[in-house]
Amino acid sequence: MATDTTHPEPTPERTDVIPDSYAVYVTDAWVYVWQYRVNISEPDGTWYFVETLDRQNDPKLSMDHASPMPPTPDGYWIYSRTYDCELDCE
């Protein structure tokens, strides 16, 4: 299986985001993706976990208007208006 939907830590901390934008956290082994959504139950918006990608599957990410953040000891955040992924699967 190429993706996993288990909710990882850390979660996005940014709150000044555009609805339907993405937060991507990249580590040595994994890529975690969240989407910021506004809906009836969360009118101010909240981050929803989307997927976990195994970096061994060589995911190719494309993003528009991406803003990389300074790295942390475990990885780094990229905030983006759009997100698309293609896996190098068999």
Please write the tens of the pLDDT for every residue from 42-65. 898 999 999 999 999 989 999 999
This prediction has a pTM of: 0.85
Going 5 to 41 to 26 to 71, the CA torsion angle's sign is negative
**Confidence at 8, pLDDT banded by 50, 70, 90:** confident
Go through 43-72 and write b for each residue having 16 or more CB atoms within 10 A of its CB, e for each that does not.
Answer: eebebebbbbbeeebebebebeeeeeeeee
SS3 48: strand
- Tell me the C-alpha to C-alpha distance, in Å, between residue 16 and each of 12, 46, 51, 55: 11, 11, 22, 28
For position 68, what pLDDT does the model report? 92
